[in-house]
Structure 1
Amino acid sequence: MSQPPTVQKLQSTLEAAMDELQRKNLIPLQKDSFLCAAKCCDKHSDMQALQQCTVNCQAKVQTAHQVLYGNLEDFQKRFQRCLLRCEDQAKDALPPKPKEKDMEKAQDQIMECMDLCAVEYTGKVAKLKADVGSSLSQIGK
């Protein structure tokens, strides 16, 4: 079963949002983390202190990754649940001994429902991006 074009649009919209969040938020944090780690080499001659300093430099980046990818995973799980509801609804509509015609109708019902899920979740990408961007901005401070 191929995906409706709206599902592909959702995927590309979500990828573009994640790319922008990475470019605007994660990469600058990563740069700051590297610069911080380089300064640790100037400040500490003791290996244990140096290691602790570099670990501390990475803390914001790790938190940012958890925020970004945790929100993305949650979003994807919610979308997946919507798609699973589509399959459940189509199965529930089938008679006890479905004929080929019934199966085709169920397949069409699944595709229509998937289309609606994709449109709904494409509309939620902007809020996801704004919420995650706000959280990442707070981490960077």
Structure 2
Amino acid sequence: MVEEQRQRVEQEMTKMINELDVDYLRKMQAAMHKCAAACCENNSASLESVQKCVESCSVKLTWAQGYVQRELEQLQNKLQRCVMDCNDEVRVKMGPNPTHSEVNLLTGLIYIK
């Protein structure tokens, strides 16, 4: 049961990340490349000017990717703390010598919540 829950959470996280990528990040990446291409097409600009232009094109995407990464890390930390809290709760309820049926009952109840 625990493994099924872990897989379900992992699948939902992957789905969410893919949706963020398709709906937002890819569009930002395409815009960044179009912007950079426009910078490179400016034949009257200096090398330094073109490099600064290209760098400025990537600022929004870099920020967005960092933001998503930080949010995912925070979510992962919260999930880990939740799992630890649930495990602690089960250990307290089981006592020092739980029977096999008590272990099954308590672990099933905790993960159903």
TM range (shorter): 0.7 to 0.9
Partner residue of 2:82?
82
Partner residue of 2:19?
20
Partner residue of 2:6?
7
- Give the share of equivalent positions with the same residue, in percent: 22
Structure 1 residue 45 displacement after superposition = 3.8
Please tell me the root mean square deviation across aligned C-alpha atoms, in Å: 2.3
Aligned pairs (5 A) from 1:52-131: 52-95=52-95, 98-99=96-97, 102=98, 104=100, 105-106=102-103, 109-116=106-113
Conserved 8 A contact 1:4-1:114: no
Structure 1 residue 111 displacement after superposition = 4.8
Structure 1 residue 107 displacement after superposition = 6.4
Structure 1 residue 52 displacement after superposition = 1.1
User: TM-score when scaled to structure 1?
Assistant: 0.66
Unaligned runs of 5+ in 2: none
User: TM-score when scaled to structure 2?
Assistant: 0.79
Give CA deviations for 1:84-130 in whole Å, capped at 9, x if unaligned.
101111233354xx33xx174346534532343xxxxxxxxxxxxxx
Conserved 8 A contact 1:93-1:106: no
Give CA deviations for 1:31-79 in whole Å, capped at 9, x if unaligned.
1101111111122642221221111000110111122222222222111
Greater RCO (CA < 8 Å, at least 6 residues apart): 1
| Distance in 1, Cα, partners of 2:105 & 2:76 | 23
Partner residue of 2:39?
40
| Distance in 2, Cα, partners of 1:8 & 1:62 | 30
Unaligned runs of 5+ in 1: 117-141
Question: Aligned in 2, Cα 1:70/1:8: closer, same or farther, shift over 3 Å?
Answer: same
- Higher Rg: 2
Query: What amino acid is aligned across from residue 109 of structure 2 in structure 1?
Result: E
